[in-house]
Amino acid sequence: MSILINKDTRLIVQGITGRDGSFHTRQMKEYGTHIVAGVTPGKKGQFLDGIPVFNTVSDAKKETGGNTSVIYVPAPFAADAILEAVDAELDLVVCISEGVPANDMVRVAHHMRGRNTRLIGPNCPGLISPGQSKVGILPSQITKPGPVGVVSRSGTLTYEIVYQLTQANIGQSTCIGIGGDPIIGTNFIDTLSLFEKDPDTKCVVMIGEIGGTDEQEAAAFAQAEMKTPVIGFIAGKTAPPGKRMGHAGAIISGSSGTAAEKTRILNEKGIPVASIPSDIVPLVKKRLS
């Protein structure tokens, strides 16, 4: 099985006629994702590789039964694209766009309160359930179906660790990049909860980084609420205090956001933390044995 996406996912691509949207639409379609529609305002009636284009998400959903959207639009328009998908009452919205202003995401977060739509991102690579569906930009060739869930704040580290697992013949149930911005739609605890409910996910790899307290809070949740074992990795061990490392959310404040502090808390909560990405493989093998 998997979480959030599978063979029944019916995908709408917002920004399908743009450079990134068209390229990744073809990549997702080639992988086998069921793409039912695209959305670009003013381009209703056009087609991309046989996929119909609509002016609005609401029209696309009504005509095709789409239940998920992925957003490839410039940052200034990303928040409105998310809100449009939420108002269309889609089950899942995945925003790939980076550089979305934090103030825009405050508006999005407020608008989504009480709604049933789940948001992944922004500034994320999306997710893939190997052998079933891909929504976003994760490279499918490095994945394989299996029992390990992967959740990460970092896109490129997701790729590295998934590759390490696949090279060791350890497959994945779902790999998901939640994004590293200060305000995101789905956090570690949300994702761990979903993996815990998936009977075919036997182990979870959680890839964190410096800044904030999300990893520490997730560790407490895992200890209290999960039977599925969790393996950790924290990026940014050599980052100097006060420096932002890659993501807007990766800023150390005092000692709480350092890699050393996060590693200590995870270990205290029973989560082993790999020193380097390649160390994750033996830790996973031990939990699966």
Task: State the catalytic residues.
Answer: 247
> Identity (one letter) of the amino acid at 286?
K
Tokens 């957003």 belong to: 71
Rounded CA separation 122/78 (Å): 8
Tokens of 169: 């013949």
**Around 253, how many Cα atoms within 13 Å sit in the side-chain half-sphere?**
6
Rounded CA separation 71/82 (Å): 8
Rounded CA separation 149/172 (Å): 6
Residue pair 93/85 in contact by the 8 Å Cβ criterion: yes
* Nearest by Cα to 158 from 47, 30, 277, 35: 277
Residue pair 127/177 in contact by the 8 Å Cβ criterion: yes
The string of DSSP codes covering 34-94 is -EEEEE-TT-TT-EETTEEEESSHHHHHHHH---EEEE---HHHHHHHHHHHHHTT-SEEE
CA dist list (Å): 278 to 42, 125, 167: 48, 21, 11
